[in-house]
Amino acid sequence: MTNQEIREEMMLQIEYLKTINILNRLGMHNRDEEQTKAEIKSRIEALYRQLLEEEP
Average pLDDT over residues 17-45: 85
Question: Could you give the CA distance from residue 53 to residue 34 in angstroms, rounded to a whole number?
Answer: 29
Q: Exposed (0-12), middle (13-18) or buried (19+): which is 9, by Cβ within 10 Å?
A: middle
- 56 pLDDT band, cuts 50/70/90, is low
Report whether pLDDT(32) > 80.
no
In this structure, the number of other CB atoms found within 10 A of the CB of residue 47 comes to: 20
CB 40 within 8 A of CB 6: no
Least Cα distance to 3 among 39, 41, 56 occurs for: 56
Entry pTM: 0.74
Condensed to tens digits (0 to 9), the pLDDT of residues 2-25 reads: 899 999 999 999 999 999 888 888
